[in-house]
Amino acid sequence: MRVLLPFCYLTLLFLLFTGIVHAYMPAKPAALKCEHLVNPIGIDASHPRLSWRLADERTGARQTAYQLFLSTDSLDMQKGMVWQSVKINGSASLVTYAGSALQPFTKYYWRVDVWDKDGIKAGSAIASFETGMMDRRNWKGAWISDISEVTVKPAGQFRKVFEAAKKIRSARAYIAVAGLYELYINGQRIGDHRLDPMYTRFDRRTLYVTYDVTAQLQAGKNAIGVLLGNGWYNHQSTAVWYFHKAPWRARPAFCLDLRITYEDGTAETITSGKDWKTALGPVIFNSIYTAEHYDARLEQPGWNTVNFDDSKWKPVTYRAAPSNNIVAQALHPIQAVEEIAAKTVNRISDTVYVFDLGRNIAGVSRLKVSGEAGTTIRLKHAEQVYANGRADQSNIDVHYRPTDDKDPFQTDIFILSGKAEETFMPRFNYKGFQYVEVTSDRPLTLTKESLTGYFMHSNVPPVGNIKSSNTTIDKIWSATNNAYLSNLFGYPTDCPQREKNGWTGDAQIAIETGLYSFDGITVYEKWLADHRDEQQPNGVLPSIIPTGGWGYEWGNGPDWTSTIAIIPWNIYLFYGDKKLLADCYDNIKLYVDHINELYPSGLTTWGLGDWVPVKSKSPVELTSTAYYFADATILAKAAKLLGKEGDHKKYTALAAKIRDAFNAKYLNKQTNVYGSGWQTELSVALYWGLVPAELKSKVAANLAKRVEQDNFHLDVGLLGTKAILNALSENGYADVAYKLAAQETFPSWGWWIVNGATTLYENWDINAGSDLSRNHIMFGEIGGWFYKGIGGIKPDEAAAGFKHVLLEPHFVEGLDHFEAVHEGPYGNIIAAWKKNAGMITYAVTVPANSTATIYLPMARGQQLYENGKLVTGVTGSIRTAGKTAGGKQVYHVQSGTYRFEIR
């Protein structure tokens, strides 16, 4: 009997035999995420976003359809099916769950089937997510604390013993805290997060964190321990921003539910309440702003274990919840990401040692030491040292207003117990530093290995990389990333030492730098919720967010608080996700309307202006009006995306009004110069799109001439820094932009690098009399510009999230090779070029399920080759689309990897 195989199987056998089956294997959905996190637990989203990408390296790879499945059973998804979408034609890979209401405390499993370009179906692996409280009414625990006085210095410790009478299947701990905390079960610290929960406007939104604690519980008796820190909730240090007068300030408190599911299917919840006990512990002082003090003589070993004698401990007290809005903390956590060994130690005396980490970081230091009981050690953290080698804090302590000498700035205090080798590492604080001066009141013997640094920040996954033939450029990029991460602690900050404030202006400058290099959407979604919490009914936002009340009266014009529009718009561009724009739409509208009410002419003088300029200060009205125009433009685009046609027309007209007023006031149409013709004035007008189309080339030429007159050095402040490199490279002067970026003499980024910088500084002049932080992100736009202005990788707002990639490389003079990689929602986008013997090799990778348009700058007489073949019209994998107004040749490509030569 002859068996007839279907044609597809005969084809597959042939391909297997010939060894080329890999080229025809179906696509595979991969990198599944829920709410932009991998297998998260404890989320509150009632309709979570589910996303994936297509793993398919074939040229032209794309998804033609998909189908989603959601179940409560990982082994038999059909048995526990909660939701099954129909097969949906299309290439979408970010989809919002559209089934019936999800239940709290439930683990859901999901997968996706996709159909590739040939109509072949492939299924993903199973991913999961787990819901948390979902509703504050599901909490069972009480809010408890130890005492009511906010001035009490020692941190409170709390404990409870309970018995698990049956075999445990799973257990989750849900903890909401006003302040900071560490959670322990049976003596073991739970999780590796630092500084949880994240800083919010505590009286308007409180975050809780979920832990899987199944492995830490045991049959029979168990002990729970909680250590509370002050954080921003009970700020005891004094500084110019009045943190200590925040309206929510109180002694730290917490609410905890430990939900246990037994093997027999029953559930039990162990809660915080009056049956807990409390005592003060060895953390005798803690301040998120200054430092932590620890007296090891006060330790009570085993305080968080079952058999500890707590007969001398006191009852807890009830407290009101800090807010009525208790929601899940669904973002990448703060962690001690990198351990850094001391590079050198300078023994000044037997009681003074100065350690140098060799680089500037945000985080903490850990000291291992032996000594007599009662020995008091001070660890003073600084970014620089005096000529005599001692730690110098004069550049970072200028805004501290201590009430006494008991809370020294960035100086931990550790009192030894005298019990063998002891280790100290602060729990509820972080600092900005490179040097640690360790002093003691008795002689100590320390070595280079005695002290270790820990680089702490929100642990956002890296998604970008650049490398080039210029080591200074590579070091600037690295320093920019170090500064960015040093200022990411659940919200973007200005500096990790002097302030730790969420300055809005610094964050809007660095948004693209952050998103090109790191997967930061979860942090920004949290921070824009902080914006919504802080916005006044009339639309006004403070200049620092979160805030205890400072910042509504200073520094909060549109040049700073345009974060409410600029950041949601950039999240949309980079992720193709409209949710943040939709969540903030009414807030953007309220803000823009308020400016319109205050400044009906279209020009606004509200703002700080071009902060810390080199020498030329542009008018505040010019820069603030440019940002006002940007806000109105974003609002008009958001209205169109969200189907609000009336608003789209209204705010498009408002943007036109602002542009016309701006040009009427500042544009000289005879000379094609804005204002006095400073770098900031010309670049801001170009970058934000205020220049009439017919004059852009002339204004750009004037900007290039201005830079040349300034000897190819910067003459900008914070706002000009955002604009200048982009304004040049986007308008035909990429070589001039590169000269600025690669400059190594004052003032420039390279000037910092050749003088030893490992992070970005706050002032172009490293010897300036003020504004001298050595770890600031406000001049950090250059990190994003490397991807855009040299690598040429840009999102297309018409197909956001890099669904369609714009590739516009610049083969700048002075650079021999350059490579940029950005991992977008669809996968890696790679753009690399190299010059060799008069020929330019250009290699690109466009990820599956996306497309790209390539804009190549080609000189007269040059020709393009793909894989050695001359490109003419439609050839191989590309299609010629003609030339741009700037003379660049335009090509359209499908997904795939390409290698071109320009000869």
* CA separation for the pair 597, 617 (Å, rounded): 27
Which token pair is 294?
């620890």
Burial annotation 218-245 (CB, 10 A radius, 16+ → b, else e):
eeeebbbbbbbbbbbbbbbbbbebebbe
Q: What is the pLDDT of residue 876?
A: 60
Length of the chain: 903
Q: What is the pLDDT of residue 877?
A: 67
pLDDT grade, residue 885 (50/70/90)? low
Mean pLDDT score, 159-174: 96
pLDDT grade, residue 12 (50/70/90)? very low
What is the three-class DSSP state of 117?
coil
> What torsion, rounded to 10 degrees, do the Cα atoms 745, 749, 755, 761 define?
130
Q: What is the pLDDT of residue 17?
A: 37
To the nearest 10 degrees (0 to 180), the angle between helices 679-687 and 645-666 is: 160
The amino acid sitting at 865 is: Y
Q: Is the pLDDT of residue 390 over 90?
A: yes
Q: Is the pLDDT of residue 11 over 80?
A: no
* 170-218 pLDDT, tens digit each: 999 999 999 999 999 999 999 999 999 999 999 999 999 999 999 999 9
* CA separation for the pair 218, 220 (Å, rounded): 6
Mean pLDDT score, 805-813: 98
Q: Please state the φ and ψ torsions of residue 84, each to the nearest 5 degrees.
A: -140, 115
* CA separation for the pair 832, 825 (Å, rounded): 20
The pairing of strands 851-856 and 804-807 is: parallel
Does an H or E element contain 109, and which? strand 107-115
* CA separation for the pair 721, 505 (Å, rounded): 12
Min mean pLDDT across 322-336, 533-547, 708-722, 883-897 is at: 883-897
The amino acid sitting at 718 is: L
- Cβ(143)–Cβ(253) under 8 Å? yes
Give the DSSP per-residue string, 688-725: TT-S-GGGHHHHHHHHHHHHHHTTT-----HHHHHHHH
* 28-57 pLDDT, tens digit each: 999 999 999 999 999 999 999 999 999 999
Does an H or E element contain 590, and which? helix 579-598
Nearest CA among 357, 337, 236, 198 for reference residue 775: 357
Cα angle 662, 664, 668; round to 5? 105
* CA separation for the pair 227, 283 (Å, rounded): 9
Average pLDDT over the chain, rounded to whole? 95
Q: What is the pLDDT of residue 6?
A: 40
Torsion region of 817: left, alpha or beta (phi above 0 gives left; psi -120 to 50 gives alpha): beta
- DSSP tag of 340: E
pLDDT grade, residue 133 (50/70/90)? very high
Q: What is the pLDDT of residue 5?
A: 39
pLDDT grade, residue 165 (50/70/90)? confident
- Cβ(535)–Cβ(523) under 8 Å? no
Burial annotation 629-652 (CB, 10 A radius, 16+ → b, else e):
bbbbbbbbbbbebeebeebbebbb
- Cβ(273)–Cβ(143) under 8 Å? no
Give the DSSP per-residue string, 10-50: HHHHHHHHHT-GGGGPPPEEEEEEETTBSS-EEE--SS-EE
Q: Please state the φ and ψ torsions of residue 890, each to the nearest 5 degrees.
A: -110, 130
